[in-house]
Structure 1
Amino acid sequence: MSHYHPSIPTDPQALAEACRDAMWAGDRACQALGLRVLQVAPGRATVSMTVREDMVNGHAICHGGLIATLADSAFAYACNAYNEVTVASGFSIELLAPAQLGDELTASAREVSRGGRAGLYDIEVCNQQGRVVAQFRGRSHTFKGRSLLPQASG
């Protein structure tokens, strides 16, 4: 019995969107945190999050780890837009300003370098006023030959 799999898009933008959809289907962490993938393109992604009451720490500001999670999520969607399974091999983050309860944070990821199995991505996290809350730099590792999207079977 054969299973129908839609063909894998050849257009880079359509491929990035198909990869986003495949990742989102199993992305329980982003779903639980209420993250929204606003935009994807080859090597780019924009993800947003509203700071909820359960995201605020004892200083009444958004927990830095959750800001890192938002940035890491934009990083993941950006570097997986090529239909090759890619994971983080490391990252660093600078927390530049506090985020408050109710803030709308947006993480914008862009590819700096991608070659072989390694990639480098910069992610900026801003609040709804455009104030930069954090700068994140991620290093990626690609598993060559491992597709994110299911392959057609005969």
Structure 2
Amino acid sequence: MTPQARATRAAEVMMAEDSASRDLGMHIIDIKPGGATLSMRVSGKMLNGHKICHGGYIFTLADSAFAFACNSYNRLTVAQQNQITYVAPGKADELLTATATETALAGRSGVYDVMVTGEDGRTVATMRGLSRTIKGQLFPEDGDDT
């Protein structure tokens, strides 16, 4: 299986089981080994008292992109730590896009940077995620007994 085919299959399996991302209307725009781009439209239910997107929803989008990126090798991987910085508000009915990029991977530990942007290209938030690989796979691969 090619690395790209593995990443694509891993994303399909994950999304099928990820009711949080699906229920928030997230869509996978791009997937590759060590990287993922997801989008989500800000609905009225996601607005806070300032009538802007609640930071928790922006974080959830960033965290989901991070999860798809770090699981793209078909090795079960979880978040160890995340830090988000909000730069600009997400607007009502705006399509937000989160792009996660692997910056380091050594053994069971990974580092991923996530950029969340608005429809006009402005930076809404940046997130750094630290991952930890655990035992198991998203799907069995030929010749693999794990």
Which of 137, 140, 144 aligns to 1:150? It is 140
1:33-112 map, 5 Å: 33-112=24-103
The CA RMSD measured in Å over matched residues stands at 1.2
Give the number of aligned pairs.
143
Question: Amino acid of the residue matched to residue 69 of structure 2?
Answer: A
CA distance in 1, matches of 2:61, 2:87: 15
Deviation above 6 Å: which 4+ runs of structure 1?
none
- The residue that corresponds to 2:126 in the other structure is 135
- The residue that corresponds to 1:126 in the other structure is 117
CA distance in 2, matches of 1:32, 1:18: 20
CA distance in 2, matches of 1:151, 1:131: 40
Matched, 1:19 2:10: yes
Larger Rg: 1
- Identity within the alignment, %: 48
User: TM-score, normalised to structure 2's length?
Assistant: 0.95
1:84-131 residue CA offsets vs partner (Å, 9 max, x unmatched): 000000100000001110111000000000111100000000001000
Deviation at residue 150 of structure 1 after TM alignment: 3.2
- The residue that corresponds to 1:7 in the other structure is none
Deviation at residue 147 of structure 1 after TM alignment: 1.3
Gaps of 5+ in 2: none
